[in-house]
Structure 1
């Protein structure tokens, strides 16, 4: 009889040891360690994908001609750069025969169009200026604005008449930059 009780007792003791010692350790710290390892593996895979994508983008950027990158950065700069824009507009106006004054740059926040623009990575601002000159000079100036490397939209032009052929213009432009 003792030959049957001893194996049954050993089985009960082993089941007790399993449920009191092995199972809590296996489902506690070991399971947490496995979950942390799985999370770290996912983060490592994401970092690997990011590094691969970064290398692909760097390769694609290096394939772009530096002159084209320079033109792109002047077309859509990464800051407003009001001073350079005003200097460029003054030089263009001088070549066209216009005299500029009252140049004001204001942030564009009022229109629904700006809400769509601000949701993207492109910012905009409005620029208003006064100009004095002939109609031919204004046409030359606007042609230069149209052909300039800087992205500008002419929003509004108002003209005050004159008997001498020299007019006063109020021009509103919208300029864009990367945020």
Structure 2
């Protein structure tokens, strides 16, 4: 009877050891291998991103510093109202004009809805922001046209969104009220 019972007990013990220890350990090893594969894929993507970053950085370094400065002035990555006002004042001073009554207000990038429509709150997804700068100058018509031409030719992107003028009693001077919209990258 021992000869018959011993192999049966050994088979039962082997099945118990397999189900109790070997199978869970094997499942854990398989899970760890799957995690290892995910980590290897993540490392490969990180290497690819690093090579793309290095390629872009080497392309960026080929640009001249002056060109980069001009691009940053054209479309800055932050609001630099003081620099813009100084630039406008510098252009105005070439024509013996002085900027006065300077006000800055937040630009409105969204479309307005009519009063009958229901207002919908939306998230601003524009990659840029805008600011409206209003100021006034006193000049002759010809000097003001030259001022606008120089402003148009300057590196900073500005849109003329409002312009009004009043004539002076003394003669050839006009009081011009100007509204400009400028942009920056968010």
How high is the TM-score relative to the length of structure 1? Answer: 0.84
Q: For residue 115 of structure 2, what is the aligned residue in structure 1?
A: none
Give the deviation of 1:157 after TM superposition: 0.6
2:49 corresponds to 1:42? no
- The 3-state SS of whatever aligns with 1:173 is strand
- The 3-state SS of whatever aligns with 2:84 is helix
- Distance, in Å, in 1 between the alignment partners of 2:183 and 2:127 is 10
- Distance, in Å, in 2 between the alignment partners of 1:162 and 1:111 is 37
Which of 166, 169, 172 does residue 165 from structure 1 map onto?
Answer: 172
Runs of 4+ displaced beyond 4 Å: 1-9
Q: For residue 68 of structure 1, what is the aligned residue in structure 2?
A: 67
- Distance, in Å, in 2 between the alignment partners of 1:111 and 1:138 is 31
Give the deviation of 1:178 after TM superposition: 2.3
Residues 109 and 129 of structure 2 are in contact (CA less than 8 Å); yes or no, is this contact kept in structure 1? no
- Distance, in Å, in 1 between the alignment partners of 2:109 and 2:46 is 41
Q: For residue 131 of structure 1, what is the aligned residue in structure 2?
A: 137
Give the deviation of 1:109 after TM superposition: 3.6
- Distance, in Å, in 2 between the alignment partners of 1:57 and 1:43 is 21
- Figure out how many residues of one structure are paired with residues of the other and give that number: 175
Q: For residue 59 of structure 1, what is the aligned residue in structure 2?
A: 58
2:141 corresponds to 1:142? no
Residues 125 and 174 of structure 1 are in contact (CA less than 8 Å); yes or no, is this contact kept in structure 2? yes
Task: Flag structure 1 segments of 5+ consecutive residues without an equivalent.
Answer: none
- Distance, in Å, in 2 between the alignment partners of 1:126 and 1:95 is 23
Residues 121 and 178 of structure 1 are in contact (CA less than 8 Å); yes or no, is this contact kept in structure 2? yes
- Distance, in Å, in 2 between the alignment partners of 1:4 and 1:149 is 98
- Distance, in Å, in 2 between the alignment partners of 1:21 and 1:86 is 76
Q: For residue 104 of structure 1, what is the aligned residue in structure 2?
A: 103
Tell me the C-alpha RMSD between the 2 structures.
2.4
Task: Flag structure 2 segments of 5+ consecutive residues without an equivalent.
Answer: 113-121
- Deviation string for 1:20-70 (max 9, x for gaps)? 22112222x334423332332232122112211110111111122222112
Give the deviation of 1:162 after TM superposition: 3.6
- The 3-state SS of whatever aligns with 1:140 is helix
